[in-house]
Structure 1
């Protein structure tokens, strides 16, 4: 009888974990979305000059997509990964891009940003 009670408790605990799984905070934003949003910015990030309007639209879109902490952390990681894989990106231009587009991003766009600490 005690074994049956233990088994029932284990089964109930598993059911609770499965039921709560969809509520676990996972990032919904993908690196493909981040790259796609900022693709119009590549020339600016390499060469400077005027920020294209479609670049700022992408920055705004990215900011609107990244509303939760996991999304912002993932976007941060994706930005760092994308910048590292594209030669010629100037970190100073990347860091200043949100301001140039009048978009408030709650962390510095930089290779040194600790994305796990982004809120």
Structure 2
């Protein structure tokens, strides 16, 4: 009987922990975001055309960022890059998703509030 109570308590605590953490806690890493978006760097730095691999990279980031935490992690990875970029680079970076025909609702800005990013 005591053993059953312990198992029930452990199960309850596990469910409680998962409900507060959103189920999984595996957020997308900045390394993954940077690797996926690396092909976009040429355009952001001044090349005349967006590399098709850049568009594929954006699609990969969107596919990998399944949870709200993932999407906020993506935003948190991109925000420091925006803070060190020139105005022209930010403007070019914000044009990339549109040129790829992709809806990417994270505003590329020095002032983006990553806590408000909820979906792609």
Q: What TM-score, normalized by structure 2, do the two folds share?
A: 0.75
8 Å CA contact 1:63–1:103 kept in 2: the answer is no
Q: SS of the residue aligned with 2:45?
A: helix
Larger Rg: 1
Find the aligned partners of 2:105 and 2:66 in 1 and give their Cα distance: 11
Alignment of structure 1 residues 15-54 onto 2, 5 Å: 16-22=12-18, 24-25=21-22, 26-54=25-53
Shift of 1:80: 1.4
Aligned residue for 1:5?
A: none
- Where structure 1 has 5 or more consecutive residues not aligned to the other structure, the ranges are 1-7
After superposition, give the CA deviation of every residue in 1:44-83 in whole Å (9 maximum; x if it has no partner): 1111410001111101111111122111111001011344
Q: What value does the CA root-mean-square deviation take over the aligned residues?
A: 2.6
Aligned residue for 2:100?
A: 101
Aligned residue for 2:109?
A: 110
Find the aligned partners of 1:48 and 1:110 in 2 and give their Cα distance: 20
Q: SS of the residue aligned with 1:47?
A: coil
